[in-house]
Structure formats: structure tokens, C-alpha cells
Amino acid sequence: MKKNKLTERTYFDKVHTWGRIWSVTALAVLVAVPVSICLYFNVWPAAQDVFKALIKVIPLYWGTAVIEVITYTPMLGAGGTYLSFVTGNISNLKLPAGLNAMENAKVRANSEEGEVISTIAIGVSAITTTVIIAVGVLLFSPVLPYLTNPDSVFAPAFTYVLPALFGALGAGYFKKNWKIAIFPIVIGCLVLVFAPTLVVGTLLFITIVAAMLGAMLLLKLKWI
């Protein structure tokens, strides 16, 4: 029997449906934790205190949330974006995992192949991260304070884990497109000079815009 095109649901329709369901579910679980604590102990914060605390963080985190959605979605695809925002730790793990998987598979994020590869890579990354953290907590919890102590000889290594990760990942892209890479690197460095405490999501958005404008300029000048 031939399916009606109006009723047939595509892969992306299902991704958006389940993505919304799990996003709302994750948000509900996060809110349920403090609400459950307040119910159990019958202690509720004063509304004015909550409002005072929120008014300080809303301009920062709401703006960052919008920027991150605009920034990450074109790079990770719909499925990868939903999964990343539900599991968290996007810039440290999910973004590098998705981009590296698509690069190795030689697919683009806005293609159907890239969508599938990105989603699988981010899902595997989430599972692997959970397993590694669980094993690490069980096995290394007795010695971890000695390794991360500021006086430990291993302390500098923990400080440079994230820069080393992004340096290794970015080096391949910089080498392939070194002309385009000049613009985001220079702009990013200038932004950090004048705003060293800028959040990663905002900085990432700025450098992506710089890369796009730089690429358009180089293309117009026929330098690439």
C-alpha cells in the first residue's frame, strides 16, 4: 500500500519529535531535583531572593543559550544538537567527537549522512564518557585528590587538557584551510585580550562569524 506523502514522517520529523520530548524531559528532571528537596524538607526560598539571583545570570546564560543553538546546530546537525544539549559538555566532548567523526567519514553536517554520523558519534561519546567517569570514580577516587592537588607534579597536566584537545583537533583544520583560519584566530585573540572572561559559547560564535566573513572576502578577492 502506497503511503500518503502528507502523512509519511521523515527521519528529520522523528528527530525533532523525539528531540523535543527528551529536551523537555531532561528539563523537567533538572527542575524536579530542587523541587523534591524543597518538598522533602518543607523549605522554600523566598521569591525575591530567587529573582535577585536569576536577574544576575539570565542576561548571560539566556544569551549564551541562544548563541550556542545557532552555533552548534549547523555543525552537529539536528540529532547531534538535541543529543548534545540533553547530555551536556558540548564544547569539551560532543563537538569534537561529532566533527572528528564527520571528517573521518568525509561527510558534511548538513547532509543526511553527516546527520547520522554526528548523532552516532555523539551518542557513543555520551555512553563512553558515562562509563569512564563511573570507572574513574570507583578506581581513582582514593588517589585523585593527590593528583589534582595544586602541589602535585601532575597538576599542570590537568590545566592544559582542554587546550591540548582543541589544539590537536584544530590543527588539522588550520592546516587544510590556513588562509581562512587566519581571520577567526586573529579575531579570537583580540577578543580575549579585551574580554578574557568571555564565555566559550559567545567566543565561538564570534570566531565562526569572523571565519565566514573572512572566507567571503577571500572568495571575492579570488584568493581561495
pLDDT 10s digits, 176-196: 788 888 999 999 999 989 988
Cell numbers for 109: 553536517
Q: Where are the domains of the chain?
A: 177-224
Print burial letters for 29-51: b (CB count within 10 Å at least 16), e (below 16): eeeeeeeeeeeeeeeeeeeeeee
Asked if pLDDT for residue 18 goes beyond 80, the answer is yes
C-alpha cell at 94: 560532543
In this predicted structure, the answer to whether residue 142 has a pLDDT above a threshold of 60 is: yes
Q: State residue 81's pLDDT score.
A: 92
Q: Say if residue 202's pLDDT is above 90.
A: no
The per-residue pLDDT for 1 is 43
pLDDT of 6 above 50 = no
pLDDT of residue 9: 66
Angle between helices 200-220 and 178-194 (to 10 degrees): 140
Q: Give ∠ CA 217-81-66 in degrees, rounded to 5.
A: 65
pTM for the structure as a whole = 0.67
**pLDDT on residue 160:** 80
CB 118 within 8 A of CB 76: yes
> What does the pLDDT read at residue 156?
80
In this predicted structure, what is the pLDDT of residue 186? 92
Question: Across residues 42-51, what is the average pLDDT?
Answer: 86
pLDDT computed for residue 36 by the predictor = 94
Task: Give the mean pLDDT of 85-94.
Answer: 85
| Pick from 65, 71, 62: nearest CA to 205 | 71
Residue 187 has a pLDDT of 92
Q: Is pLDDT larger for residue 4 or for residue 94?
A: 94
Of the pLDDT bands very low, low, confident and very high (cuts 50, 70, 90), residue 60 is low
pLDDT of residue 49: 85
2 or 109, which is more confident: 109
Amino acid letter for position 195:
A
**Burial (Cβ within 10 Å: 0-12, 13-18, ≥19) of residue 166:** middle
Q: Report which of residues 210 and 204 the model is more confident about.
A: 210
Q: Write down the pLDDT at residue 45.
A: 86
Q: Note the pLDDT tens digit of each residue in 145-167.
A: 777 777 888 878 877 877 787 77
Of 80, 88, 76, the C-alpha closest to 29 is 88
